[in-house]
Structure 1
């Protein structure tokens, strides 16, 4: 990737592929003037990955004018690399810094409705005297992005592509999705949702790759991409996926919010969990048909176990509360290696990679869809694209039921829809976990519970990840994964 600013052009009023060139003010002085503002603003964003470490500097990777910055309303697309001190988990070699996608609106002054979007006022540089802000709060910049996708615009190093079989109408009113997430999304009317990735890496991104593959396979459980935004950077024109436009599932309920709502009302959720297990199995089955699968033998399993063990050791260093349980947790990984040494093999395939209730949507008719195939953003892209046992996804969903159960204060719920007896939230989670696995087996013919050693190892690895995440970002939530750590260390049967 080129680490120099690129002097690109803004589109015409329609952002079409025939846009005329215009002089850009996004020159070398731009980043120097933005630097102090970004150092304060960027770490406060939910999607900023380097929390807890100071930003020591920035490198401008790419700058593209999407609307002229000296007009009444300007729009800059920036790719900026943020430099921070290296963490021990990043190794001894210098880390290049994470690259972030920024959409910067430029105005003389902000109207009151845009006050929450303020980044700051510039008193020097090419935008001196102007105010810059997070452009996704504003209607016009969001309209520009959709129009560029609709017309397949090429603007500087940005390439807007689309599936010509899907109609993208012009004119739907955009609105920003306000829920906290690791990326940013815009909904256009009730038609499409555009997910803009914030932390950018080169290569084939599974958030576009897997939904496209599932669309070719005709899998109805994943919305088919209608358009996507790419950047072709550097002398080798490396491709970076910046965003994906997909159909908006009108009236669909977020799985996490739905589970919490039903739990708070004391409603049984096992039927939904079972249906969600069926949907997950449908997606896994389709992925196994359309993309290669591999067999994991002793060598491959040992590498997987080594990775799990290393993550546990690093986590125990970072979160002292884990140290008491680390020896017992390690036995979950060792048991998996022992099975492999005895000749046991497993099939690995492409999976979702970060499956939980928040990555699932239930349509008004009851059908479940899976979304957000980016995988765990903290992992390298190559690792996220590696074939994995399906137990990785199953373990993620099992952990999500636990999270839901611990998020509603002391509910008392029916044990089953046809049972008048009541149960604790922990019982609610156990019932959902069992129902999910049952639903999965109904479609795939394989019940994840019949491979308890693999499932325990994957769930332990996931819980360890959660402990580190919560300790770093949401300390109040730390008791949730720690409860699972205690159960897994005792090797108690969770389902």
Structure 2
């Protein structure tokens, strides 16, 4: 990393111009702050803080804190200048106090001489209930409000509890969420990209349609207009008593493994009914998305070629894929023979961790799409089978995740548990797909499903090789089964 005390050239073709209007802030302070956060995606990459701009001020007068929103531009030196991932923008909301607030020591960012306030102590605003109350009040009006440079939008149909106290969620990585009592939750997008965020636009369509299968959108906050507009956060229904779908699936597997004499269909924690209801929920969401967004079709040959290209790239990372290359390419050839593949707005990154079980049924959450993809790709129409495949692969992962918790077992017991885990996976996949489709699959639909499952598994082999090498056998086994079954 070059000297962070000397910011680079502000702005880039890929982002709104980020000036040095906040050059009173030492960039090294922001480097230190970003490095220790869970949500910063540039860890390990060399970068400069090339611009810092104050884009919003939620409180200029009245009692402290002053709440400001910074847009921090980072320029990476490990890629060519002008490359799509050479520049990133991060949103940093701050709570500024003239005196130290020791209750916020854990969220301290730095202190500096602010042109409007003099010397200030800066804290991450999401940890400060007084600061977050300013956000909540800005959402209070039923009509859109322009507050301190930011635009706060509301959807009709819900009266916010403006007296609610904020609580920051822990454990999130790519974004940050703050609950306001039991009424609403604000998701603050940390890494922001010019253009409409699909998490907001998808939730807006589903909320206006009255869908009961998502947490309803109450409002959102944006900055700027047109192609350079940034979505900064979204306020939505807080499903306080909901249970995470992934956790429920793991509990079902643990119940199965607790009794060595039971099959999946006999276990007290059998998940098949829930898998079926989840399939119905996804089908209903896809139907609403088909009504709310443009639908079209693309040649099967186009989809197949994309999958072939991803396979070729994966072979350079995962040598073990070579023994399955011929069967995968044969599958993609069958996909290429399909004349047209219907495409529409989909979730794009669906797995059990993106679902919540409430007393009233399943809810699907987080419609941002695959985080590794550019925003321009995430908003493109795709086949609904992309989401189905993601869920099927998630069902396959659950038994493996539980099996790895058993370390003191003999080979015979491990093999027995593995076989029952495969039965659990197949049973839940069958119920999920059956409820999603409502009938038998045609030959083309079977090919599409197999191809999308294989494409997802190829992606997983790359991810596991780079992040959890001992897990790469999970997607490799799935690919082997696909090749042997058709």
TM-score by length of 1: 0.81
Give the corresponding residue for 2:346.
Answer: 351
Residues 304, 336 of structure 2: 8 Å contact kept: no
Comparing 214-223 with 132-141, greater Cα deviation is found at: 214-223
Q: Cα deviation per residue 1:11-68 (whole Å; 9 max; x = unaligned)?
A: xxxxxxxxxxxxxxxx4423xx341022222133332222331222332254322234
SS in 2 for 1:29: coil
Inter-CA distance 468–136: structure 2 relative to 1 (3 Å threshold):
farther
1 CA distance for matches of 2:276 and 2:112? 54
2 CA distance for matches of 1:153 and 1:462? 42
Structure 2: give runs of 5+ residues left out of the alignment: 1-14, 257-268, 407-415
Give the corresponding residue for 2:131.
Answer: 141
Given candidates 110, 116, 125, the residue that maps to 1:120 is 110
Map 1:187-206 → 2, pairs under 5 A: 187-206=179-198
2 CA distance for matches of 1:369 and 1:166? 19
Inter-CA distance 353–59: structure 2 relative to 1 (3 Å threshold):
same
SS in 2 for 1:465: helix
Given candidates 402, 410, 421, the residue that maps to 1:425 is 421
SS in 2 for 1:150: coil
Q: Cα deviation per residue 1:314-370 (whole Å; 9 max; x = unaligned)?
A: 3444x3xx12314624643553344433x54321111111111111111124x0011
Residues 255, 362 of structure 1: 8 Å contact kept: yes
Residues 138, 152 of structure 2: 8 Å contact kept: yes
Residues 397, 474 of structure 2: 8 Å contact kept: no
Inter-CA distance 112–487: structure 2 relative to 1 (3 Å threshold):
same
Q: Cα deviation per residue 1:75-120 (whole Å; 9 max; x = unaligned)?
A: 2201212111345xx8984754111111122235654543332323
Give the corresponding residue for 2:55.
Answer: 63
- Deviation, structure 1 residue 224: 2.4
Map 1:20-419 → 2, pairs under 5 A: 27-30=21-24, 33-68=25-60, 72-87=64-79, 93=83, 95-108=85-98, 111-122=101-112, 129-151=119-141, 152-232=144-224, 238-266=228-256, 267-297=269-299, 301-317=300-316, 319=317, 322-326=318-322, 328-329=324-325, 331-341=327-337, 343-365=338-360, 367-409=361-403
Inter-CA distance 254–34: structure 2 relative to 1 (3 Å threshold):
farther
Comparing 67-76 with 377-386, greater Cα deviation is found at: 67-76
2 CA distance for matches of 1:72 and 1:247? 29
Give the corresponding residue for 1:18.
Answer: none
What is the Cα-based RMSD across aligned positions, in Å? 3.1
Q: Cα deviation per residue 1:181-212 (whole Å; 9 max; x = unaligned)?
A: 32111111111111111221122221111122
1 CA distance for matches of 2:19 and 2:229? 17
Inter-CA distance 471–2: structure 2 relative to 1 (3 Å threshold):
same
SS in 2 for 1:130: strand
Give the corresponding residue for 2:434.
Answer: 438
Give the corresponding residue for 1:15.
Answer: none
SS in 2 for 1:306: helix
- Deviation, structure 1 residue 277: 0.9
> Is 2:479 aligned against 1:484?
no
TM-score by length of 2: 0.82
Residue-pair matches, total: 448
Q: Cα deviation per residue 1:288-339 (whole Å; 9 max; x = unaligned)?
A: 2232221222xxx33333333333333444x3xx123146246435533444
Structure 1: give runs of 5+ residues left out of the alignment: 7-26, 413-420
2 CA distance for matches of 1:59 and 1:201? 15
Q: Cα deviation per residue 1:163-191 (whole Å; 9 max; x = unaligned)?
A: 13321221111111112232111111111
